[in-house]
Structure 1
Amino acid sequence: MRSRSKPSYLKSPDLLPIGQEGRKITTLGFSFMWVGMVVVLATFAIGGAGVISLPLPLVILATIIGTVGIGIFISLIADIGIEHGLSFPVYMRAPFGTLGTHIPSIVRGVAASMWFGINTYFGATAMNGILNIIYGFDNWLVCFFIFAFVQLINTALGIKAVERFADLAAPTIILISIWMYMELSNTAATEGRDVWTWAENPATGAAAFTAFLVVIFSNMGFWATLAADIPTISRFIKAPKFERNWFKRNKGALIGSLVAMPITQTFMIIIGAVAYIAVQNYDPVVALQETATGWVLGVLLLMIVLAQWSTNTAANVIPAATIYSNVGGSKFPFWAGVFTAGIVGTAVQPWSLFGVIIPVLLFIGGILSAIVGILFADYYLLRKRRVNVYDLYKKHGQYKFDGGVNVAGLLSWVIGAVASYFIPSYSFLVGFIVGGACYYFLSKYWYFQKYKQAEIEDPSDEKYLGITVGRDWNLDEESASAPLKEASGAPNITVDP
């Protein structure tokens, strides 16, 4: 008779697998979330920097290549959430261990929190501009705290509240951004600059090719963070049960990441580029304040506010809150993680570190590309999409490894991150390939020989696949049936729920 033990700290209610009934995000809803997520200052900055050396058509081509490329990686990793309903920090227990997961996860959590601070500051300046037009109010710091609090409350209400806001904000963002492009283009025309041919310092030959690659990998590196923790969002995307076709099962994620994101990102890159061509400043808040007045300016600034709100809730606060909840355990709920993300994002004072923090965060994106490579190698190449989900929530299960740490995962992450640092122009691909390759060989020929993995030793679809075989992972059912498994002689390599 198995004695009753305390609930595992790994089983925080907010981190349990999401079943079919809990998947509320539609294909359109996920696409609308992408529309809001890409409208951030760093996106405009890529466009502004691009047209310094290249004409706008080449910047657009490079952006399409980069966004479709990163969209493929995002879609691949999203299957972890769609197939098994698992969030990023929970699945990370497989390649990093039940304790080792905290190290790379916290790096991502802090990066997401800092992006929250930056985007809130960006949105607060636009909000301050609107209030100044209407009421003569001028205090961006007050706007910052109000804007931050509203976003955190929206996120704490859950993923459906985030999707509903995106559904409302996305059409508005699309319409106003078209208007914004027209305003900035007219300003550029009055200055005698053709937005489709102008470049500040045109590059030629090898320099032009290098500038082209920089735009490609800037777009890829910027979204490396979400490529790593997309399961945290994708576990809520609706998907059909018993669907063995990977493309049909992942349709919602594919349309969002390979259609909605590249189109919207490209258009926002264009706005950043046109803003720079018009007034030599890629920040559309600054550019618009120089080119528009009155209620026209107010409406345009409203788009910035809505976009930062939509970006932060989905791309930054949800991933960070989920990570902090994983670190804090069962007594640290999701809503506490949400406000922790807000505190961290405010504590870094993005308004005073603005010029430094974006390069730092893009560097972190390069580091996280190694994690994307490790996740790909672990999920597709080694486990072949099969996961012993029940053991992800056990203190002494197969993912405990050596003291809760998968040494192969941590070593591979460090090697991949260092490699990406020394080749910054290709940081995403270098980190992905080096991190993933190191993890594959270290695990297959060393670590998993020492610490056997049930789903690799016995690659059973019925035991270790999720929605493909119609399964919702229910930890209560597993605990209740564990003694029966042992009595019947069925494989059970773990000892402690």
Structure 2
Amino acid sequence: MIGFQPKSEHNLYSESLAPVEFSERKVGSFGIGMIWFGIAVQVTSFLVMTPLVQYYTVGELVWINLIGQLLVCLACFVTQEIGLKYGVSFATTITAVAGPLGGKIVGIVRALPAIIFVGLNGFIGATAVNMFMKSVFGFDNMLIAIIINASLLILVTITGAKGIERFTTFAAPLMIIIGAIMFYVLMKTHGVGLIDVWDLGRTSGTDKSWLYGFGVCLGGYAAVAMGFNDFTKDCKVKNGNMKKAARTHLIFYSLMSAPSFMFFTMIGIITVVLVPGMTGAEVLPYLTELVAGGNNAIIAILALFVFVAQLSTNTAANLFPSEYVICALAPKKINFKTAAVIVGVVAFAIQPWNFGPILDVFLAVFGAAGGPALGIIAVDYYYFRKRKYSLGDLFNSKGKYSYWYGINPVSLSCYLIGIIIGLMFLDYNYFVSLISTSVLYMVAGNLFAKKFPVMVTETAENITNFTINDDPTIPM
């Protein structure tokens, strides 16, 4: 068990952020795979990934998307053990790295792109709801559709990881079937096969390094990867064997993420290549009309598919992690349900669907912020702390992780420098910023070890309010 008992000094503690006991976890290996399926089926990829045909051929994008998703899974593997072992979210564990106040800053940086994607996916989902209402009831009102979609997003998300798993397991067959139909009709209508379109693309006449494409993929999931313990804190650990659980989870979500993401992304990319002047925003309406041929019943079914696809993605990849960040901003005042409403309102208020063709650049830029964060977290947890946290101090703003006025100036300075380095090498930003920040933080941590000794050491006697069984397979 974890056995954490909150005390009066734990002012960062709340029921919404509480460690999940091993006995209370409900998500298995198949479940985390299904959650990843929902995360990977990105209907917004029609908007975000289709601009890449300016620089790559269809065949190149197949490999870029496939390898990019596998890299995303490896990035998630770095942080998943934190959730498995301690049962707490990113919003809590980032305190050990950046301090209680610094952790809030990093949390906001992490939540920003996720909130933008809540709005993007939500607008597509609302469009589908409106399409359904028009085809079935003859009622056309986008505002009502937005409210309906946002309400359902919040209702599914507040059920937690297990609720998201159940919804995605129910929705996956529908998404696979309808997606396959869309792909088949598209290719048949244009009289082409995959071989015929393999060398099409690169419409701008220029190309970019594959690392840029990988960076866009990683940028889209950077927020998920740097805090994958948001999900694994609810995952079962059979017989205390954490290493086996971590490996099994990696296999399941790798198998579910790469094919599903690549498949639905490639539908959009091939559509843009085959139809002159087509933009990412026009892909779904085009495919809907192509498949339905004006039949209202079929339009309603396709609209349901789009709605379900965005709901499964939006809840898991975007809304769920953001809520923990919002809860951590004021843990005694904001609970999980309230945070869901806040994220939903902000996401639709900023109207990110009007950001247009700069979305792929936005993802690449966020990769410059996501890479350094993942690097610092990995160095902090594996290199300095040797996989140990003082759970009680994570919930105490005046505990040993308070550093300097609640901020770890060393880690935040390295984080900022890493972002700047990434922006200087935009086409390679995720990788350059990840590697450079990791090395920088190793060096800086050791240089400032005397000033902030807790930054580089985590001794056994510092592990307060935490117990775990003595199974030797558990990495300590």
Provide, for residues 234-287 of structure 1, a one-character-per-residue CA deviation record: whole Å limited to 9, x for no partner: 11122224326x3x1313530243221112111122112222133333343122
Which shows bigger deviation, 265-274 or 36-45? 36-45
Task: Write the mapping of 1:379-458 to structure 2, written as runs, cut at 5 A.
Answer: 379-446=381-448, 448-453=449-454, 456=457, 458=459
Which shows bigger deviation, 194-203 or 154-163? 194-203
Counterpart pick for 2:82 among 70, 80, 102: 80
What is the rounded CA distance, in whole Å, between the counterparts of 2:65 and 2:257 in structure 1?
Answer: 11
What is the rounded CA distance, in whole Å, between the counterparts of 1:169 and 1:18 in structure 2?
Answer: 27
What is the rounded CA distance, in whole Å, between the counterparts of 1:460 and 1:250 in structure 2?
Answer: 26
Aligned 8 A contact 1:127 1:302 in 2: yes
One-letter amino acid of the counterpart of residue 454, structure 2: Q
Q: Secondary structure of 2:413's partner? A: helix
What is the rounded CA distance, in whole Å, between the counterparts of 1:470 and 1:35 in structure 2?
Answer: 32
Aligned 8 A contact 1:386 1:464 in 2: no
Give, in angstroms, the shift of residue 43 of structure 1. 2.2
Partner of 1:261: 257
What is the rounded CA distance, in whole Å, between the counterparts of 1:49 and 1:355 in structure 2?
Answer: 7
Partner of 1:144: 146
What is the rounded CA distance, in whole Å, between the counterparts of 2:80 and 2:376 in structure 1?
Answer: 14
Alpha carbons of structure 1 residues 241 and 26: separation in structure 2 relative to 1, 3 Å: same
Residue 271 in structure 1 maps to residue 273 in structure 2: no
One-letter amino acid of the counterpart of residue 88, structure 1: F
Alpha carbons of structure 1 residues 216 and 23: separation in structure 2 relative to 1, 3 Å: same
Task: Write the mapping of 1:30-109 to structure 2, written as runs, cut at 5 A.
Answer: 30-45=32-47, 47-109=49-111
One-letter amino acid of the counterpart of residue 32, structure 1: M
Counterpart pick for 2:230 among 229, 232, 235: 232
What is the rounded CA distance, in whole Å, between the counterparts of 2:194 and 2:161 in structure 1?
Answer: 47
What is the rounded CA distance, in whole Å, between the counterparts of 1:185 and 1:469 in structure 2?
Answer: 57
What is the rounded CA distance, in whole Å, between the counterparts of 2:436 and 2:455 in structure 1?
Answer: 26
Q: Secondary structure of 2:457's partner? A: helix
Give, in angstroms, the shift of residue 80 of structure 1. 1.0
Percent identity, please. Answer: 26
Alpha carbons of structure 1 residues 267 and 87: separation in structure 2 relative to 1, 3 Å: same
Alpha carbons of structure 1 residues 459 and 444: separation in structure 2 relative to 1, 3 Å: farther
Aligned 8 A contact 2:50 2:269 in 1: yes
Provide, for residues 303-348 of structure 1, a one-character-per-residue CA deviation record: whole Å limited to 9, x for no partner: 2110111111111111111111111122321111111111111220
One-letter amino acid of the counterpart of residue 223, structure 2: T
What is the rounded CA distance, in whole Å, between the counterparts of 1:157 and 1:131 in structure 2?
Answer: 26
What is the rounded CA distance, in whole Å, between the counterparts of 2:291 and 2:247 in structure 1?
Answer: 41
Provide, for residues 42-68 of structure 1, a one-character-per-residue CA deviation record: whole Å limited to 9, x for no partner: 423455334444332221112122111
One-letter amino acid of the counterpart of residue 450, structure 1: K
- Tell me the C-alpha RMSD between the 2 structures: 2.8
Counterpart pick for 1:282 among 276, 280, 283: 280
Counterpart pick for 2:165 among 163, 166, 169: 163
- Extract unaligned runs of 5+ from structure 1: 472-497
Task: Write the mapping of 1:93-492 to structure 2, written as runs, cut at 5 A.
Answer: 93-189=95-191, 194-199=196-201, 201=203, 208=207, 210-243=208-241, 246=243, 248-279=244-275, 280-283=278-281, 284-293=283-292, 294=295, 295-355=297-357, 359-360=361-362, 362-446=364-448, 448-453=449-454, 456=457, 458=459, 469=470
One-letter amino acid of the counterpart of residue 264, structure 1: S
Give, in angstroms, the shift of residue 5 of structure 1. 8.1
Alpha carbons of structure 1 residues 96 and 239: separation in structure 2 relative to 1, 3 Å: same
What is the rounded CA distance, in whole Å, between the counterparts of 2:155 and 2:70 in structure 1?
Answer: 33
What is the rounded CA distance, in whole Å, between the counterparts of 1:241 and 1:328 in structure 2?
Answer: 36
Partner of 1:488: none
Aligned pairs, how many? Answer: 461
Alpha carbons of structure 1 residues 138 and 356: separation in structure 2 relative to 1, 3 Å: farther
What is the rounded CA distance, in whole Å, between the counterparts of 1:440 and 1:334 in structure 2?
Answer: 35
Aligned 8 A contact 2:222 2:367 in 1: yes
What is the rounded CA distance, in whole Å, between the counterparts of 1:80 and 1:249 in structure 2?
Answer: 12
Give, in angstroms, the shift of residue 457 of structure 1. 5.3
What is the rounded CA distance, in whole Å, between the counterparts of 2:28 and 2:271 in structure 1?
Answer: 34
What is the rounded CA distance, in whole Å, between the counterparts of 1:355 and 1:233 in structure 2?
Answer: 31
Aligned 8 A contact 1:34 1:257 in 2: yes
Aligned 8 A contact 2:97 2:455 in 1: no
What is the rounded CA distance, in whole Å, between the counterparts of 1:466 and 1:189 in structure 2?
Answer: 63
Give, in angstroms, the shift of residue 200 of structure 1. 5.7
Provide, for residues 392-430 of structure 1, a one-character-per-residue CA deviation record: whole Å limited to 9, x for no partner: 112322101111111111101100111111111111112
Partner of 1:487: none
Partner of 2:3: none
Give, in angstroms, the shift of residue 89 of structure 1. 1.1
One-letter amino acid of the counterpart of residue 405, structure 1: I
Q: Secondary structure of 1:122's partner? A: helix
Aligned 8 A contact 1:54 1:211 in 2: no
- Extract unaligned runs of 5+ from structure 2: 1-5
What is the rounded CA distance, in whole Å, between the counterparts of 2:155 and 2:465 in structure 1?
Answer: 37
Aligned 8 A contact 1:30 1:252 in 2: no
One-letter amino acid of the counterpart of residue 253, structure 1: H
One-letter amino acid of the counterpart of residue 290, structure 2: T
What is the rounded CA distance, in whole Å, between the counterparts of 2:80 and 2:256 in structure 1?
Answer: 15
TM-score (norm 1): 0.85
TM-score (norm 2): 0.89
What is the rounded CA distance, in whole Å, between the counterparts of 2:7 and 2:127 in structure 1?
Answer: 52
One-letter amino acid of the counterpart of residue 121, structure 2: N
Give, in angstroms, the shift of residue 117 of structure 1. 0.9
